[in-house]
Amino acid sequence: MTGIEALAAFTVTAGLITLTPGLDTALVLRTAAVEGGRRALCAGLGVAAGCLAWGLAVALGLGAVLAASELAYTVLRWTGAAYLVWLGIRLIRGAGAGPDVQDAVTGPHTGAPGWFLRGLTTNLLNPKVGVFYVTFLPQFVPAGADVVVFSALLATVHAVEGIAWFTLLVAATRPLTAALRRPRVTRVLDTVTGGVLLAFGLRLVTGSPRA
């Protein structure tokens, strides 16, 4: 498989994975609906930055340590679960309170920078993302290629696809902004998103460690 063929195959595969609904999509959608497109895009950029970080870690061999070390995986798994549960509870507690109150409720970092950090932290504290990259990226590195450079390129492609997808999600919510920001609707969105975060956090703890 040539470099171009590997890049094309990865682009298609990673694109399909990006479109699969999950925690990142729920976080960006909720932020776009309740707090506006700028904050939602910042959350999406944070997620993309996390993907880049994981890709570089895998390229440099750090991801293999996570995959091989049960202790490292367990520590990161519990830390990620605690963060997701904390953020989920905070969102549910502040359901429908509006952006200003939510800033105070969900953590010390306010506004757009805060949502970038939340997107980044949510991604980096999910050990299954790291293990996924460890097992996924090497399959698309062609023989003879510089592993670090090509892995970083693949991670960049995945991050760009993620940003494009999040931008489409934010754009899709704009015509519905007035309706989505009604107090009753924002309460539902906050509660549902908080529930999703809680579910993912609990799944990290109670699910199969390497699933």
Burial of 178 (0-12, 13-18, 19+ CB in 10 A): exposed
Contact 87, 12 (CB under 8 A): no
Residue 168 CA neighbour count, 13 Å, CB half: 8
Runs of H (alpha helix) within 60-69: 62-68
Can you give the pLDDT at residue 208?
A: 55
CA distance 176 to 201: 30
Distance CA 33, CA 168 (A): 13
Residue 66: per-residue pLDDT: 61
Q: pLDDT tens digits, residue range 87-141?
A: 778 778 766 555 444 444 444 445 678 889 988 988 888 777 777 787 777 778 8
Gyration radius of the chain's alpha carbons: 18
**Number of C-alpha atoms within 13 angstroms, CB side, residue 36?**
8
- Considering Cα of 133, then 134, then 136, then 141, what sign does the dihedral take? positive
The Cα–Cα gap between 68 and 125 comes to 17
**What pLDDT does residue 94 have?**
67
How many CB atoms within 10 Å of residue 144? Answer: 8
Nearest to 115 by CA among 52, 34, 12: 34
pLDDT at residue 103, rounded to an integer: 46
Number of C-alpha atoms within 13 angstroms, CB side, residue 199? 9
Cβ within 8 Å of residue 132, ≥6 positions away:
none
Residue located via tokens 């924002």: 186
Weakly modelled stretches of the chain, pLDDT under 70: 62-68, 94-111, 177-183, 185-186, 207-211
Q: How far is CA 133 from CA 20, 87, 156, 201, in A?
A: 16, 25, 12, 20
Which pLDDT does position 104 carry in this prediction?
41
